[in-house]
């Protein structure tokens, strides 16, 4: 703080604004490339160009619409390129850009970790779910009310 005028220094404020902006932009990028479908698409392009139908077949559970949307987004973000081949019939292929290759290299350890730990994750989930189940309600009369005919109240 500058004691003569009571204001903070401009350089520290600009630095803080820059950090906030970078953090916000980082979250945006992670939201784009950090979802499961995008990483699986990048993984499937690791060995070179693939056609849409190859990607759809190799990525279990992805719909045609989701694959189309994700491919467009990854192309827009510079992660992959879309090439239309002028053959009969025409076809389109997708390939990682230089930046896409670096994303693949960065994400491969995460994907390998997830495959290596799938069984342990399943076991942990089953154990958690078993602990989270409420106990079975006892059968028969309630321990809070003695057995016998139901108690009725007379109306005034």
pLDDT tens figures, 29-69: 788 777 889 999 999 999 999 999 999 999 999 999 999 99
Query: Is pLDDT at 150 greater than 80 in this prediction?
Result: no
Query: Is pLDDT at 3 greater than 50 in this prediction?
Result: no
Region of residue 6 (left: phi > 0; alpha: psi -120 to 50; beta: else): left
pLDDT in the model for residue 1: 46
Give me 94's structure tokens.
């997708």
Q: Which residues contact 88 (CB under 8 A, 6 or more apart)?
A: none
Helix axes 10-33, 36-44, angle to 10 degrees: 70
Q: Got the DSSP string for 37-53?
A: HHHHHHHHTTTS-EEHH
Q: What span, in angstroms and rounded, lies between the C-alpha atoms of 53 and 12?
A: 52
Give tens-digit pLDDT for 66-83.
999 999 999 999 999 999
Is there a contact between 37 and 67 (Cβ–Cβ < 8 Å)?
yes
The model carries a pTM of 0.65
Task: Give the residue, 90 or 23, on which the prediction is more confident.
Answer: 90
Helix axes 98-116, 36-44, angle to 10 degrees: 110
Give tens-digit pLDDT for 91-129.
899 999 999 999 999 999 988 998 899 999 999 999 999
40: nearest Cα among 8, 2, 66: 66
pLDDT in the model for residue 89: 87
pLDDT in the model for residue 77: 92
pLDDT in the model for residue 2: 47
Query: Is pLDDT at 141 greater than 70 in this prediction?
Result: no
pLDDT in the model for residue 100: 95
């Amino acid at each position: 703080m500058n004691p003569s005028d009571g204001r903070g220094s401009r350089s520290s404020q600009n630095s803080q604004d820059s950090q906030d902006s970078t953090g916000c932009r980082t979250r945006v990028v992670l939201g784009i490339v950090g979802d499961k479908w995008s990483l699986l698409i990048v993984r499937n392009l690791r060995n070179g160009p693939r056609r849409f139908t190859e990607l759809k077949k190799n990525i279990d559970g992805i719909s045609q619409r989701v694959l189309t949307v994700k491919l467009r987004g990854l192309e827009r973000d510079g992660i992959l390129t879309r090439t239309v081949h002028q053959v009969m019939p025409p076809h389109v292929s997708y390939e990682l850009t230089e930046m896409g290759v670096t994303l693949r290299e960065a994400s491969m350890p995460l994907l390998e970790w997830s495959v290596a730990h799938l069984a342990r994750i399943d076991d942990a989930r089953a154990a958690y779910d078993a602990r989270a189940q409420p106990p079975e309600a006892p059968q028969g009369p309630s321990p809070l009310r003695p057995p016998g005919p139901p108690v009725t109240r007379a109306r005034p």
